[in-house]
Amino acid sequence: MSFDKDTIYAPAAPSGGAICVIRISGENAHEILERVFNCAERLEHARLTHGQVVKDGKAADDVMAVRFDAPNSYTGEDMAEIHSHGGRVSVAGVLNALSGAGARIAQPGEFTKRAFLNGKMDLSAAGAVMELIEANSAAGASAALRQLGGGLFDKISAVQGKLTDALAIIEAGIEYPEDDIEADIRRDAMPLMESALGQISKIADTFASGRLLREGYNVVIAGRPNVGKSSLFNLLLEKERAIVTSAPGTTRDTVDDTFIINGVLIRLMDTAGIRKGRDEAEHIGIERAKTAAQTADMTLFVIDGSEGVTSEDKKVFGKLGQNTVVIVNKSDLPQKMTITQIEAVFDKKTRSVCAISGKGADEVLVCIQPPEISEMQDVVITNERHANILAHAEASLKSGMAAFDTADLDCVTIDIKEAWDALGEITGVTVTQEIIDNIFDKFCLGK
């Protein structure tokens, strides 16, 4: 695969901070830097130097600059960085100078794309760059760093190595059919295929934890109107995020926010009270509430303890998912039923809280228990594309193993090659240009 030889530039972070780092990469990166950068010292590899960026003989900013010589750079090409002041005028002046010197603005993800195409990182590591940038928790960042360090590449390459060995055994048998050694081929190749399949399955099984690390644990607060859902939402977040009034149906749409429990991102969602909608807007909000409650990782089902369990509560409960905890709100008021009685009605863990005073909040938080994610030094799959590829490879390999009994050896090799090629889409060995473009188009500018 190839790419244009233009020298590109882009800010590696938005303007507005104290300092903005502007990257330059391409075969003319050093020449372009020298055109715009005036300094008293000679520029050296990986050494910051003070000077000024100038355009048309006028200083645009007082900066620090550094050059990186290929291949010892992020992209593998000649690179440079200009560390300018972060104000919009300063950054714009530096960017205008670079444009006038013959560089072009980079496309989203183009620096990392060039790093991949120049062999500085595999495709799984390149994708991990964006996951690291977007990480919302320490655990998520740690998982991205393990992929960035080549952990996933090593695991996939090991599986492909076993498949390559199995192919060599089988193709040798096809090459010399007169030896009639099919039983020996099966004996030697099958253990390699079984081992590869086991490794693929083991990697694929990490996706549940990986999704949790990347997207967070989704907790929905649901119930009929006016039971205190929004008050509980604000209490758990420890801020006034949702509007609270005494009128039923105040929340007409979903409202969400996040917080951290044991290093895992919790996405908490307040929803409209579930009842028969009185107008189109409320009806839409209620339908969204039902969908959210059914697809959430966990639901906090809120009832009004001063009213006990109503028939409407029972109807709402029937629309919820399996992982539901009953929250009896308004514990400061006289209670119609005991916690034991309410647990008997719903057959679910039940906790009491007063969302106004905060009493019982800690017990509710204890109920929010995302699956444990250990700080293991192993790799987890964190995006759906990888999960789908592994599923494809797993299916192809199972088909190849079954073909030993139902077809000739050529069919077995076709399935093994299909599994090998699928795995190559994770590391980038067999990936198409279209997939590469799709992956890097999602990156932000300057990465």
Please report the pLDDT score of residue 280 as a whole number. 46
Q: Tell me how far apart the alpha carbons of residues 172 and 405 are, in angstroms, rounded to a whole number.
A: 19
Residues 185-210 as b/e (b if ≥16 CB within 10 A, e otherwise) read: bbebbbebbebbbeebeebbebbebb
The residue behind tokens 């009994």 is 405
Following DSSP, what letter does each residue of 220-289 receive, concatenated? Answer: EEE-STTSSHHHHHHHHHTS--S---SSTT---S-EEEEEEETTEEEEEEE----S--SSHHHHHHHHHH
Distance of CA 165 to the CA centre of its chain: 33
Cβ–Cβ under 8 Å, residues 236 and 361: yes
CA Rg value for the chain:
29
Q: Tell me how far apart the alpha carbons of residues 325 and 304 are, in angstroms, rounded to a whole number.
A: 14
The residue behind tokens 């998982």 is 143
- Point out which residues pair with 324 in neighbouring strands: 299
Tokens of 216: 């967070």
Cα 334 to Cα 116, 305, 354, 392, distances in angstroms: 65, 8, 12, 58
Phi-psi region of 223 (alpha: psi -120 to 50; beta: other; left: phi over 0): left
Which structural domains are found in the chain, ordered by start?
A: 8-120 (3.30.1360.120), 126-208+379-427 (1.20.120.430), 217-367 (3.40.50.300)
Please report the pLDDT score of residue 223 as a whole number. 85
Tens digit of pLDDT per residue, the chain (447 long)?
A: 445 689 999 998 766 778 999 999 999 999 999 999 999 888 999 999 999 999 888 999 999 999 999 999 999 999 999 999 989 899 999 999 999 999 999 988 899 899 888 989 888 887 777 777 666 666 677 777 777 777 888 899 999 999 999 988 888 777 665 555 666 788 888 999 999 999 999 999 888 778 777 778 889 888 888 888 888 888 888 866 544 444 444 444 467 788 888 777 888 888 765 545 454 444 555 566 566 667 778 899 999 999 989 988 888 888 887 888 999 999 999 999 999 999 999 999 999 999 889 899 999 998 887 776 544 457 788 788 889 999 999 999 999 998 887 777 888 889 999 999 999 988 887 766 776 776 676 666 666
Residue 109 has a CB neighbour count (10 Å cut-off) of 23
Distance of CA 255 to the CA centre of its chain: 22
The three state secondary structure string of 365-399 is: HHHCCCCCCCCCCCCCCCCHHHHHHHHHHHHHHHH
pTM here is: 0.66
Q: Tell me how far apart the alpha carbons of residues 276 and 295 are, in angstroms, rounded to a whole number.
A: 21
Please report the pLDDT score of residue 353 as a whole number. 92
Please report the pLDDT score of residue 134 as a whole number. 67
Please report the pLDDT score of residue 129 as a whole number. 79
Q: Tell me how far apart the alpha carbons of residues 152 and 81 are, in angstroms, rounded to a whole number.
A: 30
Q: Tell me how far apart the alpha carbons of residues 177 and 82 are, in angstroms, rounded to a whole number.
A: 65
